[in-house]
Amino acid sequence: MRITFCCSDTKQEPWLEGLRQALPQATVELWQPGAALADHAVVWAPPQQFFDEQTRLRGIFNIGAGVDALLKLRLPPQAQVVRIDDGGMAVQMAEFVSHAVIRYFRELDRYAEDVAAGTWSYRRPAVRADFGVGILGLGVLGQRVAKALAHFEFPVRGWSRSPKVLEGVQCFAGQEQLHEFLAGARTLVCLLPLTPETCDILNRDTLSRLPRGSYVINVARGAHLVEEDLLALLDSGHLAGATLDVFRTEPLPVAHPFWKHPKITVTPHTSARTLREESIAQITRKMLDLEQGKPVAGRVDRIKGY
Ligand code: NDP
Whose CA is closest to 240, among 212, 208, 204, 201? 212
**Which atom of ligand 1 is found nearest the CA of 306?**
2
Cα–Cα distance for residue pair 284/292, rounded to 1 Å: 12
Question: What would the 3-class secondary structure string for 281-306 be?
Answer: HHHHHHHHHHHCCCCCCCECCCCCCC
Distance CA 84, CA 93 (A): 14
Length of the chain as a residue count: 306
DSSP states of 176-192: GGHHHHHHT-SEEEE--
Beta strand 239-244 pairing with 264-266? parallel
221 is catalytic: yes
The answer to whether the CB of 84 is under 6 A from ligand 1 is no
pLDDT at 8: 85
Take atom 48 of ligand 1 and give the residue whose Cα is closest. 161
Please state, in angstroms and as integers, the Cα–Cα distance from residue 241 to each residue in 25, 69, 215, 238, following that order: 52, 28, 5, 9
| CB-ligand 1 contact for 94 (6 Å cutoff) | no
Q: Which of 55, 2, 66, 115 lies closest to 223 in space, CA to CA?
A: 66
pLDDT at site 9? 79
Mean pLDDT per 10-residue interval, the chain, length 306 residues: 93 96 98 98 97 98 97 98 97 98 98 97 95 98 98 98 98 98 98 98 98 98 98 98 98 98 98 97 97 97 97
Pocket test for ligand 1, best of 91, 160, 266 (most atoms within 8 A of CB): 160
Tell me the three state secondary structure of residue 169: strand
Q: How far is CA 154 from CA 135, 150, 187, 206, in A?
A: 12, 5, 11, 22
ipTM of this model? 0.99
The DSSP call for residue 132 is -
